[in-house]
Amino acid sequence: MKLDSLISQINSLDGALKHEATKAVNRLLTIRNWLIGYYIVEYEQNGEDRAKYGDNLLNILSDSLSVKGLSETNLKINRSFYLAYPVIAQPVLDELKNKLMGIRQTVSDEFKIENQSVSNEHIHLNEQIINNLFFSHIILLLSVPSSLQRTFYAIEAIKCTWSVRELKRQINSLLFERSNISKEPEKLLVQFNGHKSDINHASFIKDVYTFEFLGLPARDAVEEHDLETALLDHLQQFLLEMGHGFCLEARQKRILIGNEYFFIDLVFYHRILKCHVLIDLKVEEFDHNKAGQLNTYINYYKKEVQLTGDNPPIGILMVTNKNDALVEYATAGMDEQLFVRKYMLELPDKKQIEAFIKKELRNL
């Protein structure tokens, strides 16, 4: 055997087994979330003391559980998953009974999973969903209004091995509706069959739900380019050394908006301005989408984080446009002139930050 052949075989073996590990972990995560949804729904319907907790049940559960990642929002998602797919995991429960210390019995003491009549086609599709789609795919499918549409997008996602991003794009582009009004929908769909976006272990690793399931640190779920990392390292130190009241609160701050996670590069609290300063760094040219994303973060902090006595948060968007640095301050909501003047005095001068970014880019 030649050395090149040995290297190739080891690489292939590693890739194949990582892919199988990816599928196995994702499958168990999906089944776990379905079962959690089942527990919640059955308790809400049959629990003896369910009325005592009422609408606060999920909040109480989230605070009481020791399981990482099961926030009130995630528990709602699991409940919706079970309600949308009430039989999806039933074919694998007998298998789990033997492998996971009789999980079926832990349910059946208080609740009964009723055997429902399901066609062979639905059983096959359910198995395909569990085996081939990440739970992030399923969350997107739950946002689709009808079961027929969910089935359509699930089949196409499996057949074309769509990434989560591609599935989201197809849902937003109304592929189902366009297929319905097309005289020959096969011609519309055939274009996607030839352009598969393979689901591999690399994309799996970046799935936040899976990181929580495995108990891994959330920060490891964020993939950064070396250039962005170096810039953020120096930018963080630069702002702290400016001495204008910056107090570092978080780096790669994870926030959950709806069912989707976002990461803010740097979050400071400014002790003089008495507000949060959100910094988003993009190593690419400026466009309105980036400004809109930062404005979304600002509005989130206004509603979810800002306390009584705080001033509205400030957003600083840093982008590169060829060899020039463009810095935009998003000051939405700061309509009090006194505060705006104070803001301009206390934050580093715009030209100062531009010069810093240009210097860092040259050095890197």
pLDDT for 233 equals: 78
Name the 3-class secondary structure at 267.
strand
**pLDDT tens per residue across span 150-165:** 999 999 999 888 888 8
The stretch 76-105 carries a mean pLDDT of 72
Q: What is the pLDDT of residues 1-29, one digit of tens each?
A: 788 888 888 888 888 888 788 788 888 88
Q: What is the largest CA-CA distance in the chain?
A: 77
- Nearest CA among 302, 317, 208 for reference residue 256: 208
pLDDT of 338 strictly over 70: no
Q: Region 226-248: what's the mean pLDDT?
A: 75
Q: Higher confidence at residue 336 or residue 50?
A: 50
Q: Which pLDDT does position 79 carry in this prediction? A: 93
Higher pLDDT, 321 or 31: 31
| Mean pLDDT along residues 283-292 | 76
CATH architecture of 224-363: 3-Layer(aba) Sandwich (3.40)
pLDDT band at 303 (very low <50, low <70, confident <90, very high): very high
- Band of residue 307 on the pLDDT scale cut at 50, 70, 90: very high
Q: Report H helices in 308-347.
A: 337-346
Residue 306's pLDDT is what?
93
Q: Where are the alpha helices (DSSP H) in 100-200?
A: 103-108, 120-132, 135-142, 147-159, 164-172, 175-181, 185-193
pLDDT at 292 over 50: yes
> How far is the C-alpha of 282 from the C-alpha of 244, rounded, in Å?
24
Tell me the average pLDDT across 201-219: 62
Instruction: Tell me the three state secondary structure of residue 352.
Output: helix
At residue 269, the pLDDT reads 92
* Cα–Cα distance for residue pair 234/231, rounded to 1 Å: 5
CB 199 within 8 A of CB 129: no
46-88 pLDDT, tens digit per residue, is 877 777 788 889 989 988 888 877 888 889 999 999 999 988 8
Percent of the chain with pLDDT over 70: 71
Q: Are strands 246-257 and 275-282 parallel, antiparallel or unpaired?
A: unpaired
pLDDT at residue 116 greater than cutoff 60: no
- Kindly state the average pLDDT of the residues 120-149: 87
Which pLDDT value is given to residue 194? Answer: 47
In the chain, domain spans = 1-126, 224-363
